[in-house]
Amino acid sequence: GMATEKSPMRLGWRWIRSFARRPRAWCSRLSGERKALGAMVTGMAAVAWVSSSSYARAEDQRFTEEDLMDQFHEHACKDVESKMRLSELIKSLEPNDYKDTRDLDESEMQKVKEALSKFFPYVKGKGDPLLTLDDYLMVLALLSVSPFDYEIVCKIVDKSGEGCIELNEYTKMIACLLPNMGIHHPVALPSYVPMFGEDGHTSLTYEQLKSNWLEFRQVLREALFNRLDVNREGYISGGAFARYQLSYGPSDRLLKFENRISQEKNKEVSEKRVSKAEFLKYEQMLDAHENIERAVSLFNVANKPFGKHEFNHLIHGVIGIDFSPDMLDVLFTTYDNDGDGQLSGVELQHALQSTAMHGVTAHNQQGWLETTFGCMKDCFDSEIGYRFRS
């Protein structure tokens, strides 16, 4: 099981991913958005839901709003009260236990600023822009949704059903996502979001919003890779990749990896190259982990372990990507704890989501889709279902 002590040093990107795994609370909050969300949000209902949910295991490491605030203040400016530099926000998405990184150069930072400037009006200028606590929480809210769920989010918040999202619908979406993350700190929702125009009257099609949202997510991941690529070579070593990913989870898995990699047969794997493209494929796989788990539960009824070919076939079948032979070697050395050259059910689970610090239980192995469609029936009936009836 997961380490039980509170460890804010392991907050970060994978921690964010765990919030996207609460579809029932998320949808119920979206369906009830008309009940006086206003410009400020609170999240006590979400906290109560988590405490009673079958998704919450005693051994899962759950981070609280207090942990989030600690994370913000740990990375906040020392000379500007309650503000965080954009560069520090990027660092806050990493495991603090992993230190072998570099600062982004000006061109790399500029790419991040251009993507974020569609959502936040004051990040595009020169230098390292300042973000407020509210900005920080809204960034996490946007990152908490998997790209595989963007279409559903758009359909739910589009109350007119015309296929476009307006500024007020976007801010209500943020208002719904924040309390689902357990945040009951009052957050001032934005009155100006650049992608909706200077006057806020520009509407975006689903595809336009999804494109901006995906770019937002992608550039932050590329920035994380660039920080790992300390020599600016376009790749990192297999050992660096494994240590970085395992630093998000419990420390015993990293120790087991160090023992494996010290064996002569595995030393070569540690030096294999992981390109940015392979790194981003892995992140895409993590985004789809519930879809992949659904496929495993449907078609691997005998619970057979996965070899490299079977694993690659599984990932390709679900999300259409293929890992290179070198990347497969790195992944299997990282997660194959017993060294038998295969991933058992438990090892596959760790590969798919252990870095999210959020384990699968018997109650949620049906995956996101089946769970969500149950609760979305109410959402569609109360908000947009009438448009689908004859």
- Look at residue 325 and tell me if it is in a domain: yes
- Look at residue 10 and tell me if it is in a domain: no
| Domain final position from 219, 253, 285 | 219
- Residue pair 356/286 in contact by the 8 Å Cβ criterion: yes
Whether 207 and 290 map to the same domain: the answer is no
Which one, of 357, 352, 353, lies nearest residue 60 by Cα? 357
Whether 325 and 300 map to the same domain: the answer is yes
- Look at residue 369 and tell me if it is in a domain: no
Whether 215 and 244 map to the same domain: the answer is no
Q: What's the predicted TM-score (pTM) here?
A: 0.78
Whether 350 and 238 map to the same domain: the answer is yes
Whether 199 and 243 map to the same domain: the answer is no
- Look at residue 112 and tell me if it is in a domain: yes
Give the tokens for residue 146.
């998997």
Tally of domains in the chain: 2
Whether 187 and 260 map to the same domain: the answer is no
Whether 173 and 297 map to the same domain: the answer is no
Whether 167 and 262 map to the same domain: the answer is no
Whether 105 and 191 map to the same domain: the answer is yes
Q: What percent of the chain is predicted at pLDDT more than 70?
A: 74
Which pairing describes strands 273-275 and 204-205: parallel, antiparallel, or unpaired?
unpaired
Whether 201 and 164 map to the same domain: the answer is yes
- 3-class secondary structure for the chain? CCCCCCCHHHCCHHHHHHHCCCHHHHHHHHHCCCCCCCCCCCCHHHHHHHHHCCCCCCCCCCCCHHHHHHHHHHHCCCCCCCEEEHHHHHHHCCCCCCCCCCCCCHHHHHHHHHHHCCCCCCCCCCCCCEEEHHHHHHHHHHHCCCHHHHHHHHHHHCCCCCCEECHHHHHHHHHHHHHHCCCCCCCCCCCCCHHHCCCCCCCEEHHHHHHHHHHHHHHHHHHHHHHHCCCCCCEEEHHHHHHHHHCCCCHHHHHHHHHHHCCHHHHHHHCCEEEHHHHHHHHHHHHCHHHHHHHHHHHCCCCCCECHHHHHHHHHHHHCCCCCHHHHHHHHHHHCCCCCCCECHHHHHHHHHHHHCCCCCCCCCCHHHHHHHHHHHHHHHHHHHHHHCC
- Using a 10 angstrom Cβ sphere, with 0-12 exposed, 13-18 middle and 19 or more buried, the burial of residue 302 is exposed
- Look at residue 387 and tell me if it is in a domain: no
Which one, of 174, 92, 107, lies nearest residue 134 by Cα? 174
Q: How far apart are CA 171 and CA 93, in angstroms?
A: 23
Helix axes 238-246, 206-228, angle to 10 degrees: 110
Note the pLDDT tens digit of each residue in 275-308. 999 999 999 999 898 889 889 888 877 788 999 9
> Residue 14's pLDDT is what?
53
Per-residue pLDDT tens digits of the chain, which is 390 residues long: 333 344 444 455 555 555 444 443 434 444 444 333 332 223 322 222 222 222 222 233 456 788 888 888 889 988 788 899 999 999 999 987 899 999 999 999 999 999 999 999 989 878 899 999 999 999 999 998 889 899 999 999 998 899 999 999 999 999 888 887 788 878 888 889 999 999 999 999 999 999 999 999 999 999 999 999 999 999 999 999 999 998 887 788 888 888 888 887 778 888 999 999 999 999 999 989 888 988 988 887 778 899 999 999 999 999 999 999 999 999 999 998 888 889 998 888 888 864 443 322 222 333 333 333 333 334 434 443 433 333
Whether 204 and 73 map to the same domain: the answer is yes
Whether 75 and 209 map to the same domain: the answer is yes
Q: How far apart are CA 12 and CA 85, in angstroms?
A: 16
Q: Which domain holds residue 203?
A: 65-219
- Look at residue 319 and tell me if it is in a domain: yes
Give the tokens for residue 202.
């520009």
Which one, of 241, 299, 234, lies nearest residue 270 by Cα? 241
- Look at residue 277 and tell me if it is in a domain: yes
- Look at residue 371 and tell me if it is in a domain: no
| Domain final position from 169, 186, 219 | 219
| Domain final position from 187, 219, 251 | 219
> Residue 181's pLDDT is what?
77
Note the pLDDT tens digit of each residue in 141-150. 999 888 989 9
